[in-house]
Amino acid sequence: MATLPGDLNERVGDAVKSFWKKRIEQDQKQKQDGKSDQGARSAVTGGAQMNGFIDLLRDLIISTGVCNTEIFYNKAIELPGYFRPTKEWDLLVVSQNGLLVAIEVKSQIGPSFGNNFNNRTEEAMGSALDFWTAYRQGVFKKSMQPWLGYLFLLEDCPRSRTPVKVSESHFEVLPEFKNASYADRYKIFCKKLILERQYSSTAFIMSSLEDGLQGKYSEPASDINFEQFARSLVAYTGAYVK
């Protein structure tokens, strides 16, 4: 049985540090190119900023016996859908023409938490619906159910932790959303993605710029932290290799 590395927390910290360093580099380049207004939009995507996490996940998968040639990231990451022709994922494992793993990694940096929260949640839910419908229709040509993962990093700052008012024009919102901050909302969202079996596992991480550059981060909930995400992933790929 594959085990997690003893320095897993340190490696997650390195990925967090890499995220913030890459973001600073991109911001500086955009300013030099006269495109600083695009900084906020780049903050809600995975892309190069999250490459540290992709590298870590790749190494975890390889440790279970999966060949490096069966792991895809940066290129050849498209999967056919049911409601749309294709979607790009951040990491795929395809073995013997069968899909084993698909992972999405996303981040959000302020200041526009409201609109971006709605966009991120709608995107994740839509991707899951499209993915599982395509799977049921036999698009991936494999009987074994794939492992679908979602990892999210949110900026830890006063605006993401401040309670947000909700509009209840006709009906009351669910109790858990009342006086919830955007950090709370993301935590609830990631938990419900698993509860409703939309994703096999999710991970939710928070980090501020100052602490992140030192590799520091927090995990608001133990059942959606990176360690459990990694354990679920290696257990699945390890069982397949056996």
Amino acid 110: pLDDT: 81
pLDDT at 234 over 50: yes
Amino acid 1: pLDDT: 55
Q: How far apart are CA 90 and CA 80, in angstroms?
A: 14
Q: Which pTM value belongs to this model?
A: 0.92
Q: How far apart are CA 186 and CA 192, in angstroms?
A: 10
Amino acid 36: pLDDT: 56
Among the listed residues 89, 105, 113, 120, the one whose alpha carbon sits nearest the alpha carbon of residue 40: 113
pLDDT at 38 over 60: no
Amino acid 42: pLDDT: 46
14-18, 24-28, 163-167, 203-207: least confidently modelled range: 24-28
